[in-house]
């Protein structure tokens, strides 16, 4: 069945770039998403990419999509302590109704 | 924030008791979802709704039921709570124009003793 995999933990120094990786299985997904979750809060949509795009940039965020390898990445430039959170990638499930499947989440820790 | 509220925000209950969680939206979106979040598992879909009285099962639906009698409210019921249902529950709605993006409520932390 469909699956989305992420590494569970990433530690970076403040000011460096962070790269969070994700692999997915359903090549028919129309959109792929990145969500951010801060402690005690719900998920907040960070960005998304349409499946016919290779790259999308939004201020400090860059999303790269490699459809051949079913690999999605999120790069955060100039990482700040406020970026410390859990980051989830998600893809649309087949069968309609806008259902999503999420990865387990990557906890990003930013240290001085 | 897409106008989504969840109640209660926190609940402690005992094994075997029924529990109902409520999700309320203010913008008349057709699609609504219930997820649970557990460490190491991300978010897993419990049930979803595609209209009033139209619901279907998700990945982890055993032990849960849902109802949607009005567009704005989506209820999740644990008929007889078990300790394995201790989790954080999130409701979401989907904006169907364009990107099919889901927006999430603030969550309900449920502890079953």
Q: Cβ of B94 under 8 Å from any chain A Cβ?
A: yes
User: What's the mean pLDDT in A91-110?
Assistant: 90
In B, which residues are within 8 Å of A42 by CB distance?
Answer: 90, 104-107
For chain B (113 residues), the mean pLDDT of every run of 10, in chain order, is 88 97 94 93 93 93 97 96 97 79 94 97
How many Å apart are CA B90 and CA B108, to the nearest integer?
Answer: 7
Nearest chain A residue to B55 by CA distance is A97
Q: Cβ of B105 under 8 Å from any chain A Cβ?
A: yes
The verdict on a CB contact (< 8 Å) between A88 and B100 is: no
Give the per-residue pLDDT at A111.
94
The verdict on a CB contact (< 8 Å) between B102 and A98 is: yes
Give the per-residue pLDDT at A59.
95
User: What's the mean pLDDT in A4-24?
Assistant: 95
Give the per-residue pLDDT at A76.
97
Give the per-residue pLDDT at B2.
66
Please give the distance of CA B93 from its chain centroid, rounded to a whole number. Answer: 10
Task: Return the C-alpha torsion angle A24, A26, A27, A28, nearest 10.
Answer: -140
CB B25 within 8 A of CB B2: yes
Chain A closest-CA separation from residue B96 CA (Å): 8
In B, which residues are within 8 Å of A102 by CB distance?
Answer: 42-44
Phi, psi of A8 (to 5 degrees): -90, -20
Q: Cite the DSSP H helix spans in A1-112.
A: none
pLDDT tens, position by position, A40-92: 889 999 999 988 899 999 999 999 999 999 999 999 999 999 999 999 999 98
Nearest chain A residue to B2 by CA distance is A44
DSSP helix/strand/coil, A70: coil
In B, which residues are within 8 Å of A105 by CB distance?
Answer: 42
Nearest chain A residue to B40 by CA distance is A104
């Amino acid at each position: 069945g469909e699956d989305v995999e992420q590494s569970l933990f990433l530690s970076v120094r403040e000011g460096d770039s962070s790269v969070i990786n994700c692999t997915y299985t359903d090549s028919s997904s129309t959109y792929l998403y990145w969500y951010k979750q801060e402690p005690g809060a719900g998920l907040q949509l960070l960005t998304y990419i349409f499946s016919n795009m290779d790259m999308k940039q939004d201020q400090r965020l860059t999303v790269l999509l490699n459809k051949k390898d079913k690999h999605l990445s999120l790069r955060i430039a100039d990482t700040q302590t406020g970026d410390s959170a859990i980051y989830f990638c998600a893809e649309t499930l087949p069968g309609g109704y806008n259902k999503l499947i999420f990865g387990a989440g990557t906890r990003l820790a930013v240290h001085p | 924030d897409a106008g989504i509220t969840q109640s209660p925000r926190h609940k402690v209950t005992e094994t075997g008791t029924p529990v109902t969680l409520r999700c309320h939206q203010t913008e008349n979106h057709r699609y609504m979802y219930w997820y649970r979040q557990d460490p190491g598992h991300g978010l897993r879909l419990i049930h979803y709704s595609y209209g009033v009285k139209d619901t279907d099962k998700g990945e982890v639906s055993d032990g849960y039921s849902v109802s949607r009698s009005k567009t704005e409210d989506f209820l999740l019921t644990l008929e007889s709570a078990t300790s394995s249902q201790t989790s954080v529950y999130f409701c979401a709605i989907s904006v169907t124009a364009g990107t099919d993006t889901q927006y999430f409520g603030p969550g309900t932390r449920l502890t079953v003793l």
